[in-house]
Amino acid sequence: MKIEVDLVNIDGGNKGSVLRLLDRLDVSVNEVDQNKMPDGNRPLILPGVGAFGAVMQSIEKGGLSSRIIELVKQGTPYLGICVGMQILFDQSEETPGVAGLKLVPGTVVKFTKGKVPQIGWNKLDNAKSNGYEPGYAYFVNSYYAVPQNENDTLYSAEYHERYCAAVQHDNITGFQFHPEKSGAFGQTLMQKWLSDVAK
C-alpha cells in the first residue's frame, strides 16, 4: 500500500527538496495549511527553514499550530526538519518570548563556539538506536535543541561541543539536519521513519 503523508506548508519552508525526496520514495503527499487543516489520518511532516519566531507565527495563523498540537497528542506521527524540529520545544534563544509547540520538554540555544552557523556535513552518533544507524548528514543551523530528558535524544553530533542532532519522543521525531540534502544516507533515514510510522 502506498504511504501517504501530510506536508505542512509554512512561509519560507524547505518544501521543494523535501517533496523531491518523498517523490523518489514513492510517497503520496497531501499539502496542508491553515486553509486545509490536517485530519490526523496521515503522518505529519513539517520542514522548516528560517527563524523560530517566524515559523511559529506562520503556523499560528488560523489555528494551525493548535491543530498540530491536538493531533500529535492524539498519536499522529510527526517529523520536524530543521526549525520544524526546534519548534517542538518550549522556547528558543533565537526569538525570546515566543513559545514553541511545547510537545518535547526543553529549549533551543545558540552555538557559542566555532563559526556560526554550522554549514556542512557532520557525523551523527547513536544515542538511542531504535534501528537508526550512524552516518553523515548535512546541517545548516545556528541553534540546537537541549531536551530536558536525555532519553529524547535520538542522535547527537559534535560541533566544538556535543549537541542534540535529532530527537524522538513517543510519536514525535525531529531531525536538526536536512535528510533531503543528505544523499543516500538521508534517504535511508526518511525511509526508516516512513516504514516505522506506516506500521
Q: Exposed (0-12), middle (13-18) or buried (19+): which is 48, by Cβ within 10 Å? A: buried
From the candidates 94, 164, 169, 180, which is the catalytic residue?
180
The yes-or-no answer on residue 82 being catalytic is yes
Determine the Cα–Cα distance for residues 46 and 117; give it in Å rounded to an integer.
21
- Parallel, antiparallel or unpaired: strands 162-169 and 153-158: antiparallel
From the candidates 4, 82, 158, 164, which is the catalytic residue?
82
From the candidates 94, 164, 169, 178, which is the catalytic residue?
178
Determine the Cα–Cα distance for residues 123 and 166; give it in Å rounded to an integer.
12
- For cell 525570546, the residue is 96
Determine the Cα–Cα distance for residues 118 and 105; give it in Å rounded to an integer.
24
Residues catalogued as catalytic: 82, 178, 180
